Amino acid sequence: MRISVFGLGYVGCVSAACLAARGHEVTGVDVNPAKVGLVREGRAPVVEERIGELTAQVVRAGALRATTDVAEAVATTDVSLVCVGTPSASNGSLSTAHLERVAEQIGRALTGRDPRRGRHTVVFRSTMLPGTCTGLLVPILERSSGLAAGSGFGVAVNPEFLREGTSVRDFFDPPKTVIGEFDTAGGDTVAALYEGLPGEVFRVPVAVAEMTKYVDNAFHGLKISFANEIGAICRALGLDSHDVMDVLVADRKLNISPAYLRPGFAFGGSCLPKDLRGLVYAARRADVSVPLLSHVLPSNDDHLRRAYELVTAAGSRRVGLFGLSFKPGTDDLRESPLVELAERLLGKGYELRIYDANVSLSHLVGANRAYIEERLPHLSDLLTDSAEEVLADADVCVVGCDDPAVLSALDRAGDRTIIDLVRLPDAAARRAHPGYVGLGW
């Protein structure tokens, strides 16, 4: 395939050289003549493992060339891969100035492109916030070209997951390939660029592709900060943090795994809140600052608050709560976020009915019973024997479990408001219906 790569920084330079090495004909485009000159000489404009020899190799073979002429690059290629920078301002906002300028240039170039060469596809590889492509860049392309996106030209978003220092290796051995497709044909074109590379391919809506890069980097930063705070606590307690983390990362069932990484309701129970408090307390006693760990419980409280605000926004004071224990399959009510939610609603005068197939007052014993007697002393007046009883008395259904009886009752909810805290099995279909509200989806 013939590809023009806009921007010859780290991402653009590596993408151009690696695509050329895979047999594509690549034209690098940059406003900086010095970078263009280096590539023409077979030299990489950046310092990166393997990129120097790879650039020399593909330039020598005639697979990679460089130019400052946008119109020529677009006229002679099938794909424009946009890799320009999106720096952040001091307030954290994203600068799209380079993206806007390149989109305008590519759009103008499309007007003079020979239609016999087939449809051109514009692929944005730059990191940008959700909504940037369809809300900002596509209108610029359409306005400057006079063509319609999806028919006159293809559009896709293809975020990169290249680490500086190992970016060439990461290109040829990616953890995944993400294609946000504005149109199916554009997605097909991007998929063909990477055909044969390892890793799963995700063809998703444009905004999902834009978001994945931010989520990945936020998670990486979170993991590093978490490990560093654990290291600081361990050192203060006389431990080698690497011995501790060796045990943590060896657990691929719960720790280094998809476990706990599905958005839902707040966490609770007898372990997580208590142990987080204990760890933060130990750090404070040792005079170790742990801002990340100390804000986990406040973050959890904020998520509970979001659920409460969804209930209050529904506008009715007759509320049915499906689920009460801290997670499905148990009757443990200790520090359950659903108990906390019920307590807040009762405190504000809401009429509340509750159903949980696993919770029976007669079976609660010990600390579990003591906890609920303190937090919800009138639970016996609120609990029902069936999901249908809750439904009969509620205008607003708050779903904190996916018990089969609850799912069956919800099928007959009619025009009641449903606030989904667990992502019901048919949540994707329900999202289109008025009255359904998902907590994080």
Residues marked as binding? 30, 35, 86, 127, 161-164, 213, 260-264, 268, 274, 327, 334
Numbered residues of the known binding site for substrate: 161-164, 213, 260-264, 268, 327
Token pair recorded at residue 248: 């943590």
Catalogue the active-site residues: 271
Residues in the chain: 441
Phi first, then psi: what are they for 340, rounded to 5°? -60, -40
The full 3-state SS of the chain, as one line of letters, equals CEEEEECCCHHHHHHHHHHHHCCCEEEEECCCHHHHHHHHCCCCCCCCCCHHHHHHHHHHCCCEEEECCHHHHHHCCCEEEECCCCCECCCCCECCHHHHHHHHHHHHHHHCCCHHHCCCEEEECCCCCCCHHHHHHHHHHHHHHCCCECCCEEEEECCCCCCCCCHHHHHHCCCEEEEEECCHHHHHHHHHHCCCCCCEEEEECHHHHHHHHHHHHHHHHHHHHHHHHHHHHHHHCCCCHHHHHHHHHHCCCCCCCCCCCCCCCCCCCCCHHHHHHHHHHHHHHCCCCCHHHHCHHHHHHHHHHHHHHHHHHCCCCEEEEECCCCCCCCCCCCCCHHHHHHHHHHHCCCEEEEECCCCCHHHCCHHHHHHHHHHCCCHHHHECCCHHHHHHHCCEEEECCCCHHHHHHHCCCCCCEEEECCCCCCHHHHCCCCCEEECCC
Instruction: Give the residue numbers of the binding site for NAD(+).
Output: 30, 35, 86, 127, 164, 274, 334
